């Protein structure tokens, strides 16, 4: 009986999770005539004109390219800096180590609205408004606390024997980190990279304020510009949302084992 109840709960949670995406997918595959029907139809028409309209009429692929550049650069920078910060915090004898980690965590709790003014003025003085680096830098700062915490907790669980062996072989701290710890901590690195990429791919608030030039705007801002003054193109919005979501779904499905092992390693071993 418990197994049946557990199965029902799991199925309900899965349906609740994927239900909105399936509804958006269903809407994106309808025709303009069907999408306006009330009550709505469950079976789609399998039409692709909304996808064609989203791509052709709204320069959608330009937004996809901008998001890919910003999210990719943010992921590389956040993982690199996060690794360089997490290794000494986890393995070296540093004073106030716990205080530093607490400060890093506290920095991630500031609401975006509280810091956007300072970030905007800084980027304005640096001439980085309406540029990809102008988004990469604040995104990296916002995701670094998460990267540092995940990598630090994983680095702590790596046996010290590996570190001692590297020292015997003549490796310094940097060589030990890159040659020993980073390969061993691959699940945590992949987890961090995926979570940072998802954040940068979906972030809207900073992208809306920093990127006012349509040529460099990212996906969330581009999709938000779809509605006109007198109408909302629900079909095109649904198609755009599907296109924007599929890369993340594929990425998570392909790397789900690494994500789970990276997120649970510290909890299992600690």
pLDDT at 180: 80
Q: Per residue in 149-202, pLDDT tens?
A: 888 888 888 888 877 787 777 777 778 888 888 888 888 888 889 989 999 999
Q: Per residue in 47-67, pLDDT tens?
A: 888 888 888 877 888 999 999
Mean pLDDT calculated for residue range 68-95 = 89
pLDDT at 204: 93
Share of the chain above pLDDT 90, in %: 29
**What band does 269 get if pLDDT is binned at 50, 70 and 90?**
very low
Which of 54-58, 168-172, 214-218, 238-242 comes out lowest in average pLDDT?
A: 168-172
pLDDT at 267: 46
Mean pLDDT calculated for residue range 72-89 = 92
**Domain 60-269, CATH 3.30.450.40 — does that match?**
no
Domain limits of the chain?
A: 1-47, 60-269
Q: Per residue in 119-148, pLDDT tens?
A: 999 999 999 999 999 999 999 999 999 899
Q: Per residue in 9-23, pLDDT tens?
A: 998 998 888 888 888
pLDDT at 265: 56
Q: Do residues 30 and 41 touch, judged by C-beta distance below 8 A?
A: yes
* Mean of all residue pLDDT scores within the chain: 84
């Amino acid at each position: 009986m418990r197994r049946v109840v557990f199965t029902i709960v799991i199925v309900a949670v899965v349906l609740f999770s994927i239900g909105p995406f399936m509804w958006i997918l269903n809407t994106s595959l309808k025709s303009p005539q069907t999408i306006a029907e009330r009550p709505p139809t469950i079976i789609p028409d399998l039409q692709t004109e909304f996808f064609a309209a989203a791509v052709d009429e709204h320069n959608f692929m330009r937004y996809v390219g901008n998001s890919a550049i910003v999210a990719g650069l943010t992921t590389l920078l956040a993982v690199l800096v996060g690794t360089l910060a997490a290794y000494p915090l986890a393995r070296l004898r540093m004073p106030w180590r716990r205080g530093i980690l607490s400060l890093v965590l506290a920095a991630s709790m500031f609401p975006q609205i509280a810091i956007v003014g300072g970030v905007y003025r800084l980027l304005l003085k640096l001439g980085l408004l309406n540029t990809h680096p102008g988004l990469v830098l604040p995104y990296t700062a916002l995701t670094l606390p998460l990267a540092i915490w995940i990598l630090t907790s994983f680095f702590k669980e790596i046996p010290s024997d590996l570190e001692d062996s590297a020292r015997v072989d003549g490796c310094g701290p940097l060589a030990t980190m890159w040659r020993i710890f980073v390969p061993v901590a691959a699940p945590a690195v992949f987890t961090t990279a995926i979570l940072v990429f998802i954040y940068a791919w979906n972030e809207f608030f900073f992208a809306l304020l920093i990127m006012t030039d349509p040529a460099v705007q990212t996906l969330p801002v581009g999709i938000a510009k779809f509605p006109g003054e007198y109408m909302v193109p629900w079909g095109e919005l649904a198609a755009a949302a599907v296109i924007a979501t599929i890369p993340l779904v594929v990425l998570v499905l392909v790397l789900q084992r690494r994500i789970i092992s990276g997120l649970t390693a510290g909890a299992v071993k600690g």
